[in-house]
Structure 1
Amino acid sequence: MRRIGLVVNPIAGMGGRVGLKGTDNKVEEARRRGADPRSPSRARAALEHLGEQPTEVDLYTYGGEMGEDEAVAAGFSPTVVGHPDGEETSAADTREAVRRLLEADIDLLLFVGGDGTAVDVAETLADAGTEVPILGVPGGVKVYSSVFAVTPRAAGRIAATFDRTETREVNDIDEDAYRGGDVTTELKALAEVPVGDEIQSSKQIGGGTVEALAEAVAGDILDDEVRTTPSSRAGRDAAGSGGATYVLGPGSTVDAVKTELGFNGSPLGVDVWRDGDVVAADASESDILDHLGERNVVVVSPIGGQGFIFGRGNDQISPAVIRRSEIEVIASKQKLDDIGVLRVDTGDPRLDERLRGWQRVRVGKFERRLLKVV
């Protein structure tokens, strides 16, 4: 019998699809923009897969939307060790939940959220002087730490089957600086984490020049507009008129493309380009959908050290956007050598399955390489 503790940060990830790049101090703004909670559904996906494993599990959790609701929905009859103080949960609730779960003598603490939640969990364990292993179900916008499974389903599988642990990093960034385009990770804690092939690496920042690649990609975008766009701008106000709509994702590689196109992009956000203009800057999911036309191209680059092309830091490029678009993946050769494979975690299992397989990745003006999406 494996005793597993579960804590869910129900507001983690709400800021992603509405373009806030996180939820720290932005919960009400996310709700005003129409954000829906992301963590509960990802918690259920992890728990449903956990329940399918042959290992017997005794599940302990916190009350309401911090774990109890998701556990019951996934078919478990959990032991509830406490309840949050108010309707709006906080980091203090997460830390108290961890303390209560430790009293239940758990073998693993499974948490759902992002890097901020990971910090709350790891620091509470350190304060308690325990090395109970932890495993993150990715539910936040920022997932830089190496304590997360690559998908919710992978988390459920690993939680049931792991037989050893290793020390890994918990990192976080300043979300206000992140929204302003400044990304600096800071090591916050170390934690014991199950060993498994489906544990993600820490995100690597930077790494190599991409100027030539960016110039080639931008040149092709501009050439495409020359081929397809009428010389006159009259009558081109409707989405889809003229050339293709380009959805330009976050990250330094795609930001270099934006620079080559002649505008200061949102380095950590999504910008939409059509007919020589930025039609939506730092766009949310709804902004992107409003501007999609007859032909749409999503341009993304995998995260260094992890390989994710969807589901980490670009939730605005949602399943609804992806289904209506062509996908152009660009990366330096060095980055591809470092990551080995590409990964997706869109939150839609059917779409993830459709995206898996061999993907052409542009690495130069003419050169492309095949890399597998796993």
Structure 2
Amino acid sequence: MSFTLGLIINPLAGLGGSVALKGSDGAETVAQALSLGAEPRAEQRAMNALVPLKGLEFRLLTWGGAMGERVAREAGFEPVVIGTPAQEPTSAEDTEHAARSLADAGADLILFAGGDGTARDICTVLGAECPVLGIPAGVKIHSGVYAITPSAAGEIVAMLIRGELVTLANAEVRDIDEEAFRAGQVRARYYGELLVPSEHRYLQHVKNGAREDEALVLDDIAADFEESMESGVRYIMGSGSTVAAIMAHLGLPNTLLGVDLIEDGQLIAADCTAQQLLALTDGYPVRIVITPIGGQGHLIGRGNQQLSAELLARCGRHSLYVVATKTKLKALQGRPLLVDSGDRDTDHDLAGLIPVHTGYRDHVLYRVE
């Protein structure tokens, strides 16, 4: 019997990322994101996940329109559509109904594009009943049920379709309070577990929220950065506590979970959107100061979608100024740093060995994939 794949797309996932809303949950947030010029990205990321499946024989089940049918047909497949969303834009209830119906229709695995909210919805109705795998498309992805990139999700599914041995294991579903997140506080909560293919080369780890007292190391990193600063350069200051320590050292206000812009020791703009960054850096020399997510190693594409592929391509790999403590790097246990800008060529250009500033006049070379 051939492999049966279920496909669900949350077309609103990730909508708030590029416009600095730090999430996409709720109708009001969706409306605000669209009014600010946000463009849906989940369907394109689902398309990237389907590319490795071309030429393989399997049965594809999905829901109508933007929840899967449109992308499946554009990718060259002939899906069986077993349901349609009750409303536009789609809702959490649509995701839940789709997951339940795909499992009941005999899907061997459900591939879904979304963020932590989407994983929560699926966990609510399925738990560990049916194997699932997430295509990362959300703003905040703390759960361990997602592949590291859309293409990696496709590679895992291809392995299953070809009949290769892939271990299944339970993985945590976590989500945060978006209102607290927008106020600069991370409150992640455990919501349950989903059954996922445990292929560690391609599967994302749960975000590590543990904090250690590394004040002296952070002071050294900040002092080293301050000495390196050049007049007339616009510095894009990414999210995270390591970059926040640099901003505190400089005596500047900081958006802990957003992206700020500084020049010559002054704050130019706070909590910038993707379009603002493009406009405010046009014609200027630029450095992008970022730190990887602890436990995961994501450098681009998790919580900093304001750093668009267009911006990264324009600024180039040489513009990245990566900061991290050695403790954070050691916690990765040799796994590479990850980039997932949404553009394959840009990700390829960012890959390779990159200096990571780990102290005062101290850096290490670390691999980026």
1:366 match? 361
Letter paired with 1:31: L
CA contact (8 A) 1:214 1:254 kept: no
SS in 1 for 2:49: helix
Q: Is the aligned partner of 1:245 residue 2:243?
A: no
2-structure distance, mates of 1:66, 1:200:
23
Q: Is the aligned partner of 1:71 residue 2:72?
A: yes
Deviation per residue, 1:336-360 (Å, 9 max, x gap): 0111220110001001111111111
Instruction: Report the CA distance between 1:210 and its aligned residue.
Output: 4.4
Letter paired with 2:364: R
1:90 match? 91
Instruction: Report the CA distance between 1:224 and its aligned residue.
Output: 5.0
Letter paired with 1:303: I
1-structure distance, mates of 2:299, 2:276:
20
Change (3 A) 1:359 1:222: closer
Instruction: Report the CA distance between 1:123 and its aligned residue.
Output: 1.3
Deviation per residue, 1:68-88 (Å, 9 max, x gap): 001011111000011011221
Deviation per residue, 1:5-41 (Å, 9 max, x gap): 0100000001001111111120010001100001000
SS in 2 for 1:150: coil
Q: Is the aligned partner of 1:305 residue 2:295?
A: yes
Q: Is the aligned partner of 1:202 residue 2:206?
A: yes
2:138 match? 140
1-structure distance, mates of 2:258, 2:206:
20
1:196-345 equivalent positions in 2, closer than 5 A: 196=199, 197-223=201-227, 229=231, 243-292=232-281, 293-325=283-315, 326-339=319-332, 340=334, 341-345=336-340
Q: Which segment drifts farther, 136-145 or 84-93?
A: 84-93
CA contact (8 A) 1:206 1:252 kept: no
Change (3 A) 1:154 1:348: same
CA contact (8 A) 2:224 2:360 kept: no
Instruction: Report the CA distance between 1:222 and its aligned residue.
Output: 4.2
1-structure distance, mates of 2:257, 2:314:
22
1:107 match? 108
Instruction: Report the CA distance between 1:51 and its aligned residue.
Output: 2.0
SS in 2 for 1:329: strand
2-structure distance, mates of 1:216, 1:35:
38
SS in 2 for 1:157: helix
Change (3 A) 1:221 1:260: same
2:63 match? 62
Instruction: Report the CA distance between 1:323 and its aligned residue.
Output: 2.4
Number of positions where the alignment pairs a residue of Structure 1 with one of Structure 2: 354
Deviation per residue, 1:204-235 (Å, 9 max, x gap): 1143344344434444554455xx54xxxxxx
CA contact (8 A) 1:133 1:192 kept: yes
2-structure distance, mates of 1:290, 1:224:
25
2-structure distance, mates of 1:114, 1:51:
25
SS in 1 for 2:174: strand
SS in 2 for 1:124: helix
1:240 match? none
Instruction: Report the CA distance between 1:96 and its aligned residue.
Output: 0.7
2-structure distance, mates of 1:355, 1:200:
19
Change (3 A) 1:368 1:222: closer
RMSD: 1.5
1-structure distance, mates of 2:254, 2:238:
10
Deviation per residue, 1:52-82 (Å, 9 max, x gap): 5x4x211000000000001011111000011
2-structure distance, mates of 1:222, 1:161:
48
2:163 match? none
What are structure 2's unaligned runs of at least 5 residues? Answer: 161-165
2-structure distance, mates of 1:316, 1:206:
25
2-structure distance, mates of 1:295, 1:208:
34
CA contact (8 A) 2:218 2:325 kept: no
Q: Which segment drifts farther, 216-225 or 359-368?
A: 216-225
Instruction: Report the CA distance between 1:143 and its aligned residue.
Output: 0.6
SS in 1 for 2:15: coil
1-structure distance, mates of 2:352, 2:238:
21
Letter paired with 1:244: V
CA contact (8 A) 2:49 2:151 kept: yes
Instruction: Report the CA distance between 1:262 and its aligned residue.
Output: 0.6
Instruction: Report the CA distance between 1:248 and its aligned residue.
Output: 0.5
Change (3 A) 1:209 1:329: farther
1-structure distance, mates of 2:80, 2:329:
45
1:180 match? 183
1-structure distance, mates of 2:48, 2:102:
21
2-structure distance, mates of 1:170, 1:247:
31
Letter paired with 2:330: D
Q: Is the aligned partner of 1:4 residue 2:28?
A: no
SS in 1 for 2:354: strand
Residue identity (%): 42
What are structure 1's unaligned runs of at least 5 residues? Answer: 230-242
